[in-house]
Every structure is written in structure tokens, then in C-alpha cells.
Structure 1
Amino acid sequence: MRIFFLLIFLLNCFVNTVNAQSETIPDAKIDKLVKQAWEDFKYSNFEKSLITSRVALNYATASKNNDLIAKSYKIIAGNYNELSEFDKAIFFYNKSLYYAYKADNDSLKHNLYNNLGNVYCFEKKQFDKGINYYKKSIAYGLKINNVSHVYFTNLNIAWAYFDIGKFKEGYPYLKFIENNIEKYGDQSTEIVVNMLTGMYANYRNENDAANAYFLSAIKAGENGEEQSDLSYAHLEYSKFLTKIKKYKEAYEHLTAYNQITEELYNQEKLKKASIAGFNLELDEYKRQIDKIENEKISQYQSLKKSRIIVILFILVSLILLVLIITLIKNIRFKKQHNLELLKAKEIAEEASLLKTQFISTISHELRTPLYGVVGITNMLLEEHKELSHSKHLSSLKFSARYLLSLVNDILQINKIEENKVILENLTFNISDEITMIKNSLSFLSQKNNNKISVYIDADIPEYLIGDKLRLAQILMNLVSNALKFTKDGEVEIKVDLCKIEGKNYFLDFLIKDNGVGIASVDQGKIFEKFVQVGRKDEDYQGTGLGLSIVKRLLGLFGSTITLESDIGQGTSFSFMIPFEYDPQKTKKIIDEIEVDLTSNEVYKILIVEDNLINQLVTKKIIEKNNYVCKVVDDGFAALDIIEKESFDLILMDINMPLMNGFETTKRIRLKQIKTPIVALTAFDKDEITDEAISSGINDIIVKPFEPLKLFKIINYLIQEAENAG
């Protein structure tokens, strides 16, 4: 009890001190600060807005004005939302909501629920939760009879549905917006309304209408101050132009989007704002402590002062002294710990840089010979038609494609972990793909005297749409694992049609063997990177990445993998993936693939390449399209030949001895030669884009490549050069 009363007295003294130091100013001045913070926020001056709102929040808390506290928290949350600190934004929006309820401010509740809906729909991608908040916002908008607020929230709901491709669900909200635009629309919503109408017209393939609405949105944005909405209008218009194959205009609007975004989120602003945000968080912690202390003190305001309290005060002072000494020691320890963390961070960053450099080097060294393998395989199939039905050569071609996909994923495993790998929509026959996998693994099955049996549900359509290369990668990993760990046995590949939802056909895959099996204690770790369970060096080979990649790739499909196994009882892996079945879309994809690569024009192409195999492959590809082609080994030879002959386009390797492709291009441009130059390289495109542009290179294509893509770029650049001339 003595210690209890001692702590009470300590809290009383502490609160009295805090209250004595708190400054109270008129609510009108606090309201002026709140309005100033809001103005700074609207003009993207996040640093100043955070600082001003922090001052306003301190004064509002001292004044106990719940309405102004709620408004200050709302502005703070908005700043964190714009700075992409979405968890902090949600935290402060909820704080604002708490005080808005205390102040009984329905208008503020409407705005806050709308903002929470924006964060969950557009940033956190928790669509159902976001729509819930939007509906609460609409309820409060109707309660305060402010239809203009309801109009704005309906706009956000329509945008949210359209953003995830649910145009039918979003259309009723768009219809409400269009019916009320003259009454409640304004300049701030004009851009978004036109953009959403353009998106819906695009969905309905009404291209002329879509184009007109997108242009209206961009025009409204250029005449107004809503730069963020203008950037989204450029982005959606770029997607539309790409769809209708106006690639040049699409690129221009994508560039405009990037420029506006970069201006809005200047890095220097973000750095300064983060400092202000840190101070804000410290103030928040202090307010939490003050609140707890005030609540405790309020319970014991009736305690009488006596001699015992004086004695307790002395004891408390001694305890405080001990606590202060302990606090000082803790601060010193934390400083030392922070220095150690900083050093560890520097080491980690250095290791990350070395890893990136290693991946870049390996990427180039692997893609270069792969270009030769893929190219020569295609040459054999084209020049020796009698081999076109050879299972071995077809398996070689398939394995080369698979190996290229696998190498790209392994070399860019960090991109997979950051969900930067995007699934493609290709048409394929599931039976053909599995047969190809079976044939390509026949050597492995023969080695261990295994049999591969395949069962495919007859109800599965002939052609499906999805990422067949990723699916093949998953199956190749699982089947090859089963074959390696099974001897004198059988590996079963089974595909069943599980269910149909609209155009989506859900296929259930089962890979089952009767091999050595996996112990239950090891089953939890086999999907980790570089893990190989029960391996004997003389028996099995592999990187230990296969199952890790399988798990991550299935995650991209929105699926998970199930394992059933036991020692000596074999192993079975099962998973489910939805694929689209759309005959019209399949026909369109096939028509786009079957493009005649020949040209009526005879263009003269110069190839600058030091690798003899790559020279042969590239020359064969170019001459197959009836182009005239010349090859030189290095940059100096390129400079000599362009003095004597003229070319329509130059294909430039980057990594060459004596003088690399960047330096060669710079010297060509110094001669005032404007011939289009395409970098034909094994480097990752993101690594060299800036240097390529600065040196005068017009475009980049990464080896190995699809010939169709190369000829599209060649034709476009040559025609552009002729038009400019």
C-alpha cells in the first residue's frame, strides 16, 4: 500500500508539472493552423504540413477541443498516405475517427470513412474492407443531407471497381455520377469522371468514345490544379493506346505520367517530411503517457495531504533519482546499440550491392550462350524440315525455352520475392504441354528405370489461356524431382477439371511417385531456398531451388501446394490453378502470333557483335526476313564501315572488347550519323537503360528474343527515321 500511494503522489507531481508547462491558445488560432496545414497538404508540401499539423495537434490537445484534434489527426493521416506509409495513415485516420465520434462531427466521419476506403481499396488491396468503409461514408453523407459528398464517394467506389477490372459492378456508381455531374460535379472531379467514362468505354471496346473521354480528362487536368488525377489520366490513356496498338503515343503518355509523379513526390521533400513525421510520433507517445497519467491522477484527487505524504514524496524522489540514473544508462546503451545496428546495416548494404553485381555478371554470361542454343535450335528446325517432327529436337527446343525461363527467374529471384514477375496470357493445349514435359524428361526416367503415366480429364477444353511457361516450370520441377527420388517405379501426372466459374476452368494437378518419400519432420522446410532433404551427393543433384520456385510461382497464380508423403511410401504434390477458356480470345491470340515476318522493303542492317555464334544466329534471323546484312567484330570496325557504306539500322552489342557498344554509339553520333541503333544485349534492360539513352541508342532488346519483337522494333525505327528525314 505504501508503494501504491507513493506512485500516486509521484504521478500527481508529474502531471502538475506538465500542466504548468502546457500552453493554451484560443481555438480560433488553432483552427487557423489546421487550415494552413491543410493548404500545405493540398499543394504536396508534406514537410510543412506535418510540422504545422503537429503544432495544431499539441495546442488542440491542451485545449481539449475534440473537433480540432480530429481534424489535425486527419491531416497527419493524409500526409502519411501520400508518403506511402499506409499503416501509419490507417492508424492516424482511426485516431481522428475516435475524436470525430467524441465531437459528434458527422461530416468529418463521412470524410474519414471515405479516406479509409481509399487506402484499403487502392493501396492495401483489401477490396471488401474498403467498400465497407465507402458504404459507411455514404450513410453519413445522407445523414447530413450532403449529396455532393455522396457523389464524391460514389466516384471513389466506381474507380475502385474499375481498378480491379469489375466494370459491371462499378457501372451503377458511374451511372449515378453521370446523372448528377451537372449538379454536383466540379473541376476537381472532372478529370476522374472523364477518365472513368473512358475506361468503361474501353471495356466495351467503344474505342472512339474512349479516346474522346481520355483526351477530355487530360485537357481538364492541364487546365486545372489536380496534378495527381492528371497523372492517372495519362496512365489509363497509355494503357488504352497500347491496347489499340498505338505504341508511340502510349509511350509518350506513360512518360508524362512518370514526369508528373516525379514532380509530386520529390525525394528531398520525402526526406525532410520523414524527420517531421518522426518528431510527430514522439509527440504521440508523449500524449499517450500524459493521458495515462491524467487518468490515474483523476482517481485520487480526493487524497488528503498529510505528514505521511511528505515522507512518501521523499521516497518517491529517491526512486525517481534511481530511475533517472537507470534511464541515462539505457540511453547510453541504446546509442551504442544503434551504432552497432548502423554498422550492420552498412555491411548488409555492401553485401546486397555485391549480390546485385554478381547477378548482373552471371545474367550476361548465361544469356549469351543461351541465345546461341535457342537460335541454333530454331535454325535446325527451319533448315532441316525433315527434323520438324523429331521428338528429340522438339524436346531440345522446349528445354531451351524452359531453361531460359528458369535462368531468368533464378537470376532475378529478388524480383520474384518482390512480386515483380507478371504472368502472361498465352493460348496452349494442356495435353501437348505435358507430353512435351514427358519427352524432355525421358532421359531422366530411363536413367532410373521409371515409367511416366499421364491422365488428363477429357472434359478439359482443347485450348486454354494462361501462362504456360510458368506452368511448365512448375511441372518440370515437380516431375524431375519425382524421377530423381524414384527408382524402378512410376511417376503419375494427373490433371482433373475440378470446377467451372464463368470463363475460368479450375484444373487440379497431381504429381505422384512411389519413391523414397519425405519424413514428416522434413516436410516443413523443403520449400525453403537451397534446402535438400535426405540427399546423398552420389545419388541426387540439383540446386535446392526447385520447390522454392514452385511455391513462389504458385503464389503468383493465387494457389498453394499440398504435400502428402512418408518414408518408403512415395510422395504426392497437388495444387489447383484456374485457366481461362475463351474461344474468341484464343483465336485472337493465335492470329497475333501467326504474323508474317517477311517484308516488302529490303533494308540494309549492320550487326556489331564479337561472339561468332551470336553473329551466325543474328545474321540468319535478319536474312530470313529478306534483309541485307553485314557483320563486324568490334566498335572500331563499325566506325570504319559506316564511313564507307550507309545502313538503315545498326544492331549493337554492348559488351565488346576494345570499345563497348555505348562508346561506339557515342562516336557514331559525334559523326552526325542519325541511323537508328538498337542495343542487342544480354544485360538486363533496367541496368543499362539510362546509359543507353545518354549514348544515343534508340531502343534495347535483350537476348534471347522473339524475332517478331525484333522486326517490329526495326520496322518502327526505320519508318520513324524516314519520316523525320
Structure 2
Amino acid sequence: MSTKKEINKLILSATKLRESGNFEKSLLISRIALRNAIAIKDNELIANNYKNVAANFNELMEFDKAIFYYNKALIFANLTNNDSIKEKINNNLGNIYCFEKRKYEKGIEFYKKALEFSEKIPDSSQMAMTNLNITWAYFDIGSYKEGKNNLKFLNWYHNKHEDSSTIVVLKMLNGMYHSYKNENDIANRCFQEAIKLGQEQDNKTDLSYAHLEYSKFLLKQKEYKNAYDNLALYNRLTEEMFTEVKSVKANIEGVNFELDEYKRTIDKIENEKDLQFKSLKKSRVIVLLFIIVLFVLLLFLNSLIKNNKYRRKSNLDLMHANEELIVANKKAEELSLLKTQFVSTISHELRTPLYGVVGITDLLLEEHKELALGPHLNSLKFSARYLLSLVNDILQINKIEENKIVLEYLTFSISDELNMIKNSLSFIAQKNNNEITVEIDPLIPDSLIGDKLRFAQILMNLVGNALKFTNNGEVQIIVKQLKVRGNMHTLEFSIIDNGIGIAPIDIDKIFDKFVQVGRKEMDYQGTGLGLSIVKRLLELFGSDIAVESELGKGTTFAFVIDFEYDMVKTAEIISDIQVDLTSIQVFNVLVVEDNHINQIITKKTLERNNYSCTVVEDGYAALEILNKVEFDVILMDINMPLINGFETSRRIRQKGIEIPIIALTAFDKNEITDEAIAVGMNDIIVKPFEPVQLFKIINCHIQKVKSVV
């Protein structure tokens, strides 16, 4: 008679053979071990052998047989005090019912039993595996609340033990949960980490599921192309695994009859426990075994038929989904192209009249010095520039969200900026009979360094919003210095009104794009983008915004920004933007521009700063005059009739003329840079612009040419 140690050795050998894919030999050794375990009446060894037999059938995708033997194993395991084996058997039954039979309710019941046993044993890895399986099952059926605590335990366990075998599925489950919570950035990061780790581990099974769940997430986000790509990767990996499974199944087809015979032998071994009844019940046992085998074979055949139908249906559904995704992706690309063209056109059409407003304002301030002392023209210029910035940000809000906008580093007066905002919004305040007050902490230096235009845009939106929802009241702008670290001054800005207030249910909505809240019977105009842009601009500053409000009593918006105070740097910044406009040398400039107002503004701007200026209305006129007159630099508009600025520049270069050509355009710089360089242009200035910027660029390119000569 074999000893317990010898039987354990046989069980270990059968387990290793199963794990290496030698199922036939594993089952044969398990039969010997089972006979010996029954002979010594050791329930724990009998349960372990049945569990190993069930695991073999599970690997062979004969799930009904696997369930049959797992249940036998559970009967003998329940006769022992070994909670570890009880936990494993319940967990494996949960796996088959949830992920193979799709009977989630029954599978989850087995998982819960497994968790009860895992709490009694010191091995937390078994508890982690069961928690992972039950979390996945809950998430598969959309029960995220029920699986939340199980996921929490898994994250704690991984942070403590760093189990690489489950990390891919864990990252995927975190992605599924954050997607359900609409925490899309975190979900996206989790899915990408799961895919990366799956690729590194060459774990096709977990990697395929990661691609599938990521595809569902991307489809939810309307990122159709990426969703399609991930679904295609899932299909490819699934097909590879299916091919591998078919190969394994093909290798074992020859031993199926022997395995069935082996099953009958195992049942026969069990009945050998009571030898005195063997002769009396032999015929019954044979008939019963035949019926059981026939029943199992029928179940197996039925399972194969159902699985084949399910696979064909799944493939058909995937084909339809792929076709729909391809169509959706094509439509998305077309819409994206139309959007880009629309943005480009609107950008150009809005910047052109704004150039006229800013330019004429500059001319009036230059020609009538006495008007510079009053607030009106300065406010007009400031408002025009603010409108330009607002137009840019509205038209390029996608760039803000993708953090493609870089903050500028300019010196400005905090008191001047706040007073300019106050003056610019005075007409709105008067309309609703409101008063704007400004209170600045005396500890704050007046000269600061930072992006004053973005900062002003934040305040303009918040103060304008407060004025719009306040009548016969007051809007306060309060600035306090919170702390100083070296040269950095942390300032808190509060915009306080005593207007209608915001309902608690609406506070979370006000920063969404195109959302307007307020009493429905009142007409509040606007795009619904103001507060959304404020939030995104503050994110560029590394800050956030807080809101406190009470209906009928008013609202307070508060945010914190760090600005630098450094007199040395301030002096350097100011000196960097200075241009020597007193030079006695007169440069000859050719302006190619078809808009009459722009011609006047550009010509006067150049001439009042000692430049000689000649204006032509189109590219043909420019080519003709260049044959007769020498110029130091050409300012070229892009959007012109007859031939545009690109074609004109190309023909100038074909003539061998090397005069610097600077594009003076209302198009976005990023849209035309590549084509401008290709045709031989030297630089780009976007209208409207500061005269100082124009002269600095002109002088720089003229000096480069003269230094070469």
C-alpha cells in the first residue's frame, strides 16, 4: 500500500504534466494516485486528485466534465479541515460558471464561498486571486458598485506585494472602473498601462481582453479610429489563441476515447471502496456508468454546438461592428477636416477687422496725444486685444485642452491691469446699474512678471460674468498676497458679487463648455464658454478655481496664481522688446496688401517711424514693381485675389531676388509655417500685432542681409 508521501509525489507529477500540456499522461498518473488515495481513505488526497482531473478537462475546454469532477473534489474537500483546497475548488468553479458558461449569478456565489475560506488561511495570494475574479465578473455585468470593494482590496494587495501575474488584468479593471466613473484621463492611462504590460509579458489572453475593454472605452469617448484599432488587435490575438487551442485539440483528438474510458475507470475505482457489494451491483454500475458517459458525451456535443454557434455569431457581430467603425472613422475624419477648414476661415475673417480696430486705435493715440490720457481709447484697444485673444481661444479650445498653449513671460503692472479691466467693463456695469471696486493688498509689488494677457482674460470673464448676473449691486475684485517664496509671490484673487447666485445643483455644471445656468425667464446672452476657458487657462497656470454661492445673495469665485517679482529680469524683458526707432537710415519697404484699411494702417505705422513705404494691391503689381525699384524688405499678405502671397513669393524667388519676405497675415501661424518656408518666406507676423514687434522683425532680417553683403 502506498504512503501519503508517495501519493503526494504522484499528484505533484500529474500537476506538472498538466501545466506543460501533457494532459494524457497527467490523467493516467492521476488515476493511479486516486486509486491509492481511496485505498488509504485520505479525503484530502482524494479531493486533490479530483481537482487535478477537473483542471485537465478545464484546459481541454471540456467544461461540463470539469464541473463534474470539481463537484466531486468539493464533496471530499468538505470532509476535511483544509480551507485552502476548499477555496481553490470554489474559485475554479466560479471561473467556469462566470467566464465559460456565462452564468454569472451562480459563479459569483462560488466566488463568495471561496472568499469565506480564504479569510481563514494565512495565504493572502489566494484571496487576491479570488477578489480579482469576482471583480472582473461584477464589472462584466456592469455591477461596478458591487465590485468596488474587491477592486480596492486588489489595489492594496498589489501595492504591497507587486504580483506581476495579475497586474495586466488589475490595470484593465481599474480602467473599466474609472471609465464607469467618467474619470476618463485616469481610465485611459490605466488601459494603456495594461496593454503595455501585457505586451512586455507576452500574455496574449490578458492583453486581448485589455484591447477589447479599451476599445469599448474609446468608443464611449467617440474616438472611433482608436477604438477600431484596438478592436482589430483584440480580433488578431483572439484568432491566434483560437488557432493555438485548435492545435492542442487536434493533438488530443486521438486520446478522447481513452479519456472517456479513464473516466469510467475512476468511477469504478470509487465503487471499489465497498468490495462486498461489487458482485451484486456490477451490472447496475456498468449500466449507470454507460448512461453517465452517454450523458456527458451528449453534454459535450451540445456544448460544442453551442460554442460553435456562439463563435460564429460573435464573428458576425464583430464584422458588423468593424464595418460600422470604419464608416464612423471615415465620417469623423471628414468632420475633422471640415472643422479645421472652418476654424481657419473664421480665424482669418475675424482677425482682419480686428487688425483695423487695433491699428486705427494706435494711429489715433499716436496722432492725438491728448487722447492717450483718457480711458476711452486705451480701453478700446485693450478690449479689441482681449476680443482677439478670446476669438483665438474659442477657435482653438482643443489646443487649450491638449496643453499646446504656452504661457508668455512678460512684465506688467498689476494695478494698471485691474484698472484697465474695470474701465473696459464699465459700460456693462452701467447697463445693470452696478459698481466695480478694486482692492489690492499694499504688500503686493506693482511690477510683476507673467502672462498678463491670459491673466486679464481670466479676470475679464469672471468679472463680466458677475456683472451679467447682478443688478443694482456691486462686484468686488480683491487681491491678497498669501505668501512669498524667493522671487515668487502667491496671490489670491477673489471676484465677489451680490447677484442672483447659483443653485447648488448647477455649481458642478458651470465650467462645462456651452453650458449656461440661470433663471429660465431671464435672457442671459453669451457662448457658455467663458467659465470653461477660465478653468482651462487656470490649469495652464497650475491653479484651480473655487466657487461659493447662495441663491439670492451672490457668488464668490477665487483662485491663486504665482507671479514673479524681479526688477533685474523686468529690466531685461523691457530692454529685449525695445527697438531703435531713431535711426537716421531710411529703409524702403514694399507692402503687398489688398485690403484698403490695412493698407492705410500699415503704411502710416511704417512712415511715422522713418520707413519709406510703397503699397501695391496684388501679387502681379508686386512682381512688376520689383523689376524697377529696389526694396529692403517685403511685407506680403497671404489671402489676395489673382495670385496669393505664397505664389507671389515663389515667383519672386524664381527671379533670383533675395530680399527678405515677411508674411503679414491674419491666418494662424501654425497653419501656414510649412508652406511659407517652402516658398522662400523669411518670417511670419500675425495681424493684429504690436508695432514694436513688427519693427524688431523687419530690422532683424534687414541687418542679416546687410551683414552677409
Tell me whether the two structures share a fold, i.e. TM-score over 0.5: yes
Instruction: Note if contact 1:374-1:400 (Cα within 8 Å) is conserved in structure 2.
Output: yes
**Aligned twin of 1:532:** 516
Q: Aligned in 2, Cα 1:443/1:317: closer, same or farther, shift over 3 Å?
A: same
Alignment of 1:411 with 2:458, yes or no, is no
Alignment of 1:13 with 2:66, yes or no, is no
**Aligned twin of 1:448:** 432
Alignment of 1:356 with 2:340, yes or no, is yes
RMSD: 3.6
Q: Aligned in 2, Cα 1:465/1:12: closer, same or farther, shift over 3 Å?
A: closer
The one of 550, 561, 576 equivalent to 2:534 is 550
Alignment of 1:665 with 2:656, yes or no, is no
Separation in 1, partners of 2:365, 2:397: 32
Gapped runs of 5+ residues in structure 2? 1-46, 64-163, 169-187, 203-228, 250-258, 268-288
* SS in structure 2 at match of 1:584: helix
**Aligned twin of 2:594:** 610
- Output one character per residue of 1:253-283: Cα deviation in whole Å (capped at 9) or x when no partner: xxxxxxxxxxxxxxxxxxxx99998799659
Instruction: Note if contact 1:429-1:463 (Cα within 8 Å) is conserved in structure 2.
Output: yes
- Output one character per residue of 1:505-550: Cα deviation in whole Å (capped at 9) or x when no partner: 1111111111111111222211111111126687422111111101
Q: Aligned in 2, Cα 1:521/1:284: closer, same or farther, shift over 3 Å?
A: farther
**Aligned twin of 1:103:** none
**Aligned twin of 2:374:** 390
Instruction: Note if contact 1:6-1:315 (Cα within 8 Å) is conserved in structure 2.
Output: no
Alignment of 1:707 with 2:691, yes or no, is yes
Q: Aligned in 2, Cα 1:93/1:656: closer, same or farther, shift over 3 Å?
A: closer
Larger radius of gyration: 2
**Aligned twin of 1:251:** none
Separation in 1, partners of 2:566, 2:327: 56
Separation in 2, partners of 1:281, 1:507: 55
Aligned AA (1:694): A
1:501 Cα offset (Å): 2.8
Q: Aligned in 2, Cα 1:501/1:645: closer, same or farther, shift over 3 Å?
A: same
Separation in 2, partners of 1:347, 1:89: 26
The one of 661, 671, 681 equivalent to 2:665 is 681
**Aligned twin of 1:716:** 700
The one of 598, 603, 618 equivalent to 1:619 is 603
Aligned AA (2:664): L
Separation in 2, partners of 1:644, 1:674: 15
- Output one character per residue of 1:551-583: Cα deviation in whole Å (capped at 9) or x when no partner: 111111111111111221211111111112222
**Aligned twin of 1:319:** 303
**Aligned twin of 1:365:** 349
* SS in structure 2 at match of 1:416: helix
Alignment of 1:582 with 2:566, yes or no, is yes
Instruction: Note if contact 2:660-2:702 (Cα within 8 Å) is conserved in structure 1.
Output: yes
- Output one character per residue of 1:144-178: Cα deviation in whole Å (capped at 9) or x when no partner: xxxxxxxxxxxxxxxxxxxxxxxxxxxxxxxxxxx
Q: Aligned in 2, Cα 1:524/1:457: closer, same or farther, shift over 3 Å?
A: same
**Aligned twin of 1:249:** none
Separation in 2, partners of 1:551, 1:492: 20
**Aligned twin of 1:517:** 501
Separation in 2, partners of 1:641, 1:656: 17
* SS in structure 2 at match of 1:388: helix
**Aligned twin of 1:501:** 485
* SS in structure 2 at match of 1:705: coil
Separation in 2, partners of 1:724, 1:10: 84
- Output one character per residue of 1:344-377: Cα deviation in whole Å (capped at 9) or x when no partner: 2211221111111111000000111111111111
**Aligned twin of 2:442:** 458
Instruction: Note if contact 2:590-2:631 (Cα within 8 Å) is conserved in structure 1.
Output: yes
Instruction: Note if contact 1:649-1:718 (Cα within 8 Å) is conserved in structure 2.
Output: yes
Q: Aligned in 2, Cα 1:554/1:705: closer, same or farther, shift over 3 Å?
A: same
Separation in 2, partners of 1:92, 1:361: 40
Aligned residues: 477
Separation in 2, partners of 1:86, 1:345: 22
Alignment of 1:477 with 2:461, yes or no, is yes
The one of 660, 680, 694 equivalent to 1:696 is 680
Instruction: Note if contact 2:577-2:693 (Cα within 8 Å) is conserved in structure 1.
Output: no
Aligned AA (1:494): I
Q: Aligned in 2, Cα 1:12/1:529: closer, same or farther, shift over 3 Å?
A: closer
Gapped runs of 5+ residues in structure 1? 17-68, 74-84, 100-272, 294-299
Instruction: Note if contact 2:393-2:400 (Cα within 8 Å) is conserved in structure 1.
Output: yes
1:668 Cα offset (Å): 2.2
The one of 583, 596, 606 equivalent to 2:580 is 596
Q: Aligned in 2, Cα 1:580/1:313: closer, same or farther, shift over 3 Å?
A: farther
1:94 Cα offset (Å): 5.6
**Aligned twin of 1:168:** none
1:590 Cα offset (Å): 2.3
- Output one character per residue of 1:319-357: Cα deviation in whole Å (capped at 9) or x when no partner: 122112112101101211221122122112211111111
Separation in 2, partners of 1:554, 1:372: 31
**Aligned twin of 2:34:** none
Alignment of 1:437 with 2:426, yes or no, is no
Alignment of 1:339 with 2:323, yes or no, is yes
Instruction: Note if contact 2:579-2:696 (Cα within 8 Å) is conserved in structure 1.
Output: no
**Aligned twin of 1:491:** 475
Instruction: Note if contact 2:579-2:695 (Cα within 8 Å) is conserved in structure 1.
Output: no
1:489 Cα offset (Å): 0.7
Q: Aligned in 2, Cα 1:644/1:276: closer, same or farther, shift over 3 Å?
A: same
Q: Aligned in 2, Cα 1:337/1:283: closer, same or farther, shift over 3 Å?
A: closer
Separation in 2, partners of 1:635, 1:697: 14
1:627 Cα offset (Å): 1.4
**Aligned twin of 2:89:** none
Aligned AA (1:466): G
Separation in 2, partners of 1:96, 1:683: 44
Q: Aligned in 2, Cα 1:279/1:561: closer, same or farther, shift over 3 Å?
A: same
Instruction: Note if contact 2:429-2:436 (Cα within 8 Å) is conserved in structure 1.
Output: yes
Instruction: Note if contact 1:680-1:702 (Cα within 8 Å) is conserved in structure 2.
Output: yes
Separation in 1, partners of 2:644, 2:433: 50
Q: Superposition pairs for residues 102-501 of structure 1, below 5 Å?
A: 305-306=266-267, 307=289, 308=292, 311-501=295-485
Separation in 1, partners of 2:412, 2:389: 17
Separation in 2, partners of 1:6, 1:320: 20
Instruction: Note if contact 1:511-1:574 (Cα within 8 Å) is conserved in structure 2.
Output: yes
Q: Aligned in 2, Cα 1:415/1:94: closer, same or farther, shift over 3 Å?
A: closer
Separation in 1, partners of 2:233, 2:523: 57
Separation in 1, partners of 2:704, 2:391: 35
* SS in structure 2 at match of 1:618: helix
Instruction: Note if contact 1:10-1:313 (Cα within 8 Å) is conserved in structure 2.
Output: no
Instruction: Note if contact 1:597-1:708 (Cα within 8 Å) is conserved in structure 2.
Output: no
Separation in 1, partners of 2:59, 2:597: 85
- Output one character per residue of 1:52-103: Cα deviation in whole Å (capped at 9) or x when no partner: xxxxxxxxxxxxxxxxx99xx9xxxxxxxxxxx997885577679999xxxx
* SS in structure 1 at match of 2:314: helix
Separation in 1, partners of 2:297, 2:414: 82
Separation in 2, partners of 1:453, 1:420: 35
Aligned AA (2:675): E
Separation in 2, partners of 1:560, 1:381: 38
**Aligned twin of 1:265:** none
